[in-house]
Structure formats: structure tokens, C-alpha cells
Structure 1
Amino acid sequence: MSSVVQKEVEIYVIFCKLTSVNTIQGKFEGEIDIVSSWLDTIHGNYDHERHWNPRLVYENIMDKDSKIRTRIEVKPHNDNEHHFVRVVQYQKITGTFSEWLHVKQFPFDVQKLGIIITSLHPISRITLIGKQEYCYLAQKAIRENDSWDFNQTVSIDYSTYQEHTPYLRSQQYPLIKLNALIARKSQFYITNLILPLFFVTSTIFVSFTHDVDAVSTRLSACATTLLTSINFRFIIHNYLPNVPYSTYLDMYSMGSIVFITLVFCWHAYSIKQLDRYTYAKLDIYMLCLFAIIYLLGHVLFIIFAWIIPKRRQKIFLKKMPQTNNISDENQLIELENLLGYERSMDKITID
């Protein structure tokens, strides 16, 4: 009984373009070059119908109109004993990719945009090896994106998945994800969302400038501020996906609404439960108390929702991503002639 030979397939990617990162819908548009190679005993030209192929599948491609261009070359390998050659498959994918974006720290979040690669061969027949030293982001991808900062190294995650069928024995399949590391530029959200909401919420203190006898005027000022803050809440919601948790921006907007409501309740309570003298005496103390709460809340927000995440962003963009250490003695994939098709050796083009 012949044993099944497990093929080792080396893979690296080049992110040529990353645009239109949609936080709400969890997708991005990209142009990605994927290079995979394996050893084989082919004589002559490569035939896609007859010779072994890793049968790679890209799990997170969304757009049906996505284009995949494939070119395969056969290159000599420095192994005279077994007469191996190296088969190199070049693929360029242009389209829309899905991505699970974690936005709890929005707008100071960091993300991994990547491509998920698996194979139709089970793990007993194939091993996918990511060559991190060859992966990178092209300068074009960085220049054409104004909303994100990039780490020019690429991280690699390994995993497996198992299909469950009622009639056949389930098998495990390899899964590899190659990620571009990005951090959101938060200046737009600070200028257009957080600062306006801060100024709107601060106007609640104007209600204390009215005379204690003009309680209706105080309540009217509070109601106007509250409605404006709620309107901002709906505007902020348009920038966020529907997630089952609150982002930092959610917390800030909800905190503003709660604070305005507390001031509103103070004025409404005083008109019914306190006489004018007591109301006027306590009013200055309540103003100081609300001012302290307001300032302390913003200090905590700046520390935990701005300074710490921004520091985390800088570390994220500077660090070298780690990957699983997989030792192999195979010849490394050559970067030579990645896009220069005219100098190819034995090749086949598949549309």
C-alpha cells in the first residue's frame, strides 16, 4: 500500500493596493500578489490538468467580479539526486475582501487586513508554509490610503478547519492568514465628532447662569442640549458597524447624554422639592460637583481612550510581527521576475 506524500507549499504575498476599508460593512478593496511554490519531478512544461497543484482557495473574497490572474513557471532546483524542479505559481487577485474588524477602541483602533488561504487538499497531503521574509506592503498601497497608518511587515497566522459531513469521514484542512497591520488615523474623528460633542455638552453649564427663579429657562436650555447630544449620537452611529459591544466613541457619547440628563434632573427636582432659598444655596455646590465630575470624566477618557490606545498604535506599527517557527530546508521562493512575464522560463497562463 503506497503512502500519501505530504507536499510542502511555500507562500508569500505582496499587498499592492489596500483601499476603501469599510468599517461598517467589514470589508476592504485590494490588489494582492500571491506567490506559492512546491517541489515536483516534472519533465518539460507544466500541465495544469496532469500535474499536481495545491488547489488554493481564498476564503474571504467577496466580490463575484473579483479577478484572479494565474501564471505558473517551472524553475530548476539544486537537487541533482532526486531531480526535483520548483514549480512557482504567481497569482494576482483584484477585488473585495471580507474582514472581521474589532472596533472596540474606535477611533484609536488597530486592525489586521489579510487574505485567508486554504486548500482543497487535507493536511495529510499538504502543508502551507508562510515565508514572512518575502512578504511586504508596496509603497503604492501606503501612498494611496489617507485614513490608515501601516506597518510594512506582514504577520502570519496558522490554523486548521474541519468539515463535518453526515456521510463522509471529516478531514482537517490547512488555513493560513497573511495580514497587513494598520492603525486608524484618528484626527478626523477627533475634529469632527469628539470635539463638537465636547463643546455641545459643555453648554449644559450655561443653564446655571440663569436666575434660580427662571427654572423653565434652565430646563429649556437643558432640553436643547440633550436633544442636540442625542442627534450627535445618531451621527456617530453612522460611522460604526452593528457590534454587540460599545466602542470608546460610543462610551463618550453615552457618557455625555447621561451627564446632561443628570443636570436636567437636578433642575427638575429642585423646582418641585426645594424652596427658592435652599435651591439658590445648593445650586453653587451642585455646579462645582458637576464641574468636577465633568473634568474628571474627561481626564479618565483622555488617559484610557486616547493616550493608552495611541501608544498601543505606535507600538503596533513599529513591532516586528511574530509567526510560528516552521523549519524547512527547501529552497526559498525567488522574488525575481514576479511581474516580468516576458522573461519567464516554462510557464502557463490561466485566465
Structure 2
Amino acid sequence: MRTTVVQEIELERFDVLKIQSIDTVSQSFNARCLVRLRLIGAKARREAFVTFKDGRATESVEWFARQIEPYNSFEHDSCKLIDEKPKITDAGDDLLIQLRFEGRFYQPMRLHAFPFDSQELRIEFLILCRVDGPVPAKVIVSPGVESSLVDRGFAPRFQWQPTGGVHCFVDEHKANGRIFPKFGATARVARKSRFYVTNVALPTAVFSGLAFTLFAAQPSEPLERLSVAFTLLLTMAAYKITVAGMIPQAVSYETLLDQFLLCNFFLLVAMAVVSALLPQVGHDAEDLADRVCLALLGAVWCLIQAWFVAKAWSRKD
């Protein structure tokens, strides 16, 4: 005879013990966590926690504990239970299940704001017992839930910094008409952008700013101006190739840093085009056209830099 009593489970503790690495290219991170669940009123049924079909087959709470598996593991066996078996202890009329998992978790990451992006890291677990099965379970977050991210266990501290604490949640997973309980926790981390600003964005802004030195040559001497423009274009292209390994490449859209680099690159292209066309306007209008182009291109350069700084400032807020 199948039981119809819904087992209430409280998520009592969720500690992220370690985050070893965060990989935005493979969309994954390596972490270790500790989970503690309280099974309300389950002590009396410890050895006969689950009854199957006609009542002739039963399983203990240890069997139930082994049905808790990582939901968003990167690969099938990339997340494993650290201990040989789950730790189960008595707590009055309740039972406590404590598990420690370690492995690689899959996490979709949005890099539109790179290098000023922040990412939400989710660790999710699934209880492989249907809500309408032999042991229907309802998971809730305990009002006094303990959750933390151990500071000394955060390895990528030179590239990322935690923002806020660890937040627990419960949910349901639906598959082929069946519903399974799901729970987990999230932690948000923000990228430290100083490396990318000083090694990529700042040199690019300097290269495009140096291009204005071509206006020191007379507009009637386009070869001198074009020489400066093409030299800086080649310098920027070579620098872009050099720093390509520093920025994410496995995304099908432009990040904020990509847009900034492209804007500065096309500004240099515009200067080269202007230098080639100015002699065609005639000697009388040449000086006026030169000053107008200098003012317009200078305004565009200032707008590009101001836009990038404003984006960076807004992301930090």
C-alpha cells in the first residue's frame, strides 16, 4: 500500500565551501558545497521511509538521501558526493541529511557588459522522487536557513569578487508529465575590470587619440596624414590580435569592450578617409573643411570615451 503522506523537507543550510574557477568560455564553474536538509517527523520511519507498490518492498531514509543529485552538473559525472555516503543524524523527531558535493556546474553567462559584467552562479539539486510517487516530498526553505560563501574558499579572487551573500530557493522540475522537487542556492560575482581597462581599453583610446596628430600636417599633404593614419591602424590591429586571448571569444555577439574597440577603429578609418578627400574640396575651402573635420572627429572621439566611461560607471552602480 502506497503512502500518501507528503514528506515536508526544510532546506536548513547551504554553504558554498569553495569556488575554484569560473570559466565564461565553457559557461561553467567549479565549486564545493555543503547541504543540510531536515526531514520533518521522519525519525520514526527511518528504516521504512519509503513503501513501494503493494507494501512488500521498503527502503530506508539512506536510500532517499541517495536520490538527491546535482541538477546542473556540466557533464554527467562532473559532480560527485565527497563523502562515501550521506550523513544522517537524529534531531528530535526529525532527521537531518547532510551532503557535500564537489564538481563542475553548468551556468549560462551573459557577457554583453564585459568587462563590467556580473554573473549569477547557481548550484541546483534534484530529488529523484516524483511529487506523486511513493514518497511525495515538499521542499521549503527554512525561515532560519544558514547560507554562506566561505571567503577563503573563493579562489578566483583576483578576477572576480563576490557581491552579496548566498540565496537559497526551491522549485520544481517538470519532465514528461512528471514533477520532481528541486532546490539550490545562488551567489553573484562581479568581474574585476581593472586589468581589461588598463591593458585593452586605455591603450586603444590612446591610439585613436594620437591619430589627431595627423592634423598637424597641411591638408594639402595627404600622404603625410595617411602615413600617420595607416601606421596607427596597423598598430591597433596588431594590438587587437595580441590581446585577443584576454577577452572572451566564444560568444556570437559583441561585448561592451568589442563595441568600444570597433568604435575607435572606425574613427581611425574615418580620419584616413578625410585625409584622402580633403585635397579634393579645393584650396579656398580646404582650411575651413579641415577645421570642421577636426572639430567633428574630436567630438566623436570624446563621445566614444564618455560613453564607455558612463557604461562602466552604471554597471558598477
TM-score range, shorter chain: 0.7 to 0.9
Q: Is the 8 A contact 1:154 1:179 kept in 2?
A: yes
Q: Relative CO higher for 1 or 2, CA cutoff 8 Å, sep ≥ 6?
A: 1
Task: Give the 3-state SS of the residue equivalent to 1:34 in structure 2.
Answer: strand
Distance 1:281 1:152, change over 3 A: closer
* Residue of structure 2 in register with 1:146 after alignment: 158
Give distance in 2, aligned partners of 1:98 and 1:44.
34
Q: Deviations over 1:23-43 (max 9, x none)?
A: 222111112112223131446
Q: 2 CA distance for matches of 1:275 and 1:157?
A: 71
1:260 aligns with 2:268: yes
Q: 1:50 aligns with which of 49, 59, 71?
A: 59
For the aligned residue pairs, the C-alpha RMSD in angstroms reads: 2.7
Contact conserved, 1:137 with 1:152, CA < 8 A, in 2?
no
Residue type at the aligned position of 2:272: F
Match of 2:89 among 56, 66, 74: 74
Deviations, residues 100-130 of structure 1 (Å, cap 9, x unaligned): 1122211111211121111212234222223
CA distance in 2, matches of 1:137, 1:187: 24
* Structure 1 partner of 2:55: none
In structure 2, C-alpha distance between the alignment counterparts of 1:66 and 1:43, rounded to whole Å: 30
Counterpart of 1:33 in structure 2 is 34
- The TM-score with structure 1 as length reference comes to 0.75
Partner of 1:309: 315
Percent of residue pairs identical: 20
**Where do 5+ consecutive residues of structure 1 fail to align?**
78-84, 165-169, 312-351
Q: C-alpha displacement at 1:62, in angstroms? A: 2.5
- Report the equivalent of 1:230: 237
2:116 and 2:312 in contact (8 A); partners too: yes
**Aligned mates of 2:265, 2:305 — CA distance in 1:** 14
Q: 1:126 to 1:275 in 2, by over 3 A?
A: same
Structure 2 residue 180 is matched with structure 1 residue 173:
yes
Task: Name which of 98, 103, 108 aligns with 1:100.
Answer: 108
Q: Which residue of 2 aligns with 1:204?
A: 211
Task: Give the deviation of 1:286 after TM superposition.
Answer: 0.9
Q: Deviations along 1:262-314, whole A, 9 cap, x unmatched? A: 2122122224x3234433331122112111121122223212x1111111xxx
What does residue 315 of structure 1 align with? none
Q: Secondary structure at the match of 2:250?
A: coil
Give, as a single letter, the amino acid of the residue that structure 1 aligns with 2:68. Answer: L
Which is worse superposed, 21-30 or 220-229?
220-229
Q: Deviations over 1:176-213 (max 9, x none)?
A: 33111211111111111111111111121122122323
Quick check: 2:46–2:60 contact (8 Å CA) kept in 1? no
User: Residue 10 of structure 2 corresponds to which residue in structure 1?
Assistant: 10
Confirm or deny: 8 A CA contact 1:19 1:145 kept in the other structure: no
- Name stretches of at least 5 consecutive residues in structure 2 with no aligned partner: 51-57
SS in 2 for 1:5: coil
How many pairs align?
297
Q: Are the aligned partners of 1:25 and 1:241 in contact in 2 as well (CA < 8 Å)?
A: no
CA–CA distance in structure 2, aligned partners of residues 258 and 249 of structure 1: 14
Q: CA deviation at 1:254?
A: 1.5
Question: Is 1:185 the equivalent of 2:192?
Answer: yes
